[in-house]
Amino acid sequence: MRNFPPANGARVVYLGCFLRYSDTPFFADNQTTDITPFLKPGGSSKKKAIIGGTVAGGISLLTYGIVCVVHFIKKKEDNSKRGYPRSD
């Protein structure tokens, strides 16, 4: 006999991960959660660091890509100069 998940819902719990699905609502329609105690007042103080890190990461990734392309082209030219057959 095979174990298939039930057609109307299921739960999976594994090492800090929790997944749940259902074709019926989990909570009552009038139930709300107040998240204001979890919100910090004001904007993000790390905004500049996030923007700087994103820009630096993008530039690093672009530079790495260019270096790889140049290396590939150079290696292909070296192989053709040595008389190796082309691989494409």
Q: Where along the chain do its domains lie?
A: 47-88
User: For the whole model, what pTM was predicted?
Assistant: 0.42
Query: Does position 61 have pLDDT exceeding 80, yes or no?
Result: yes
Model pLDDT, residue 28: 74
Mean pLDDT of all residues belonging to the chain: 77
40-44, 50-54, 56-60: the lowest-pLDDT one: 40-44
Model pLDDT, residue 6: 56
What is the secondary structure of 15-83 as a DSSP string? TTEEEEEESS-SS-TT-----GGGSPSSS-TTHHHHHHHHHHHHHHHHHHHHHHHHHHHHHHHHHHHTT
The pLDDT tens digits for 22-39 are 777 777 777 777 777 777
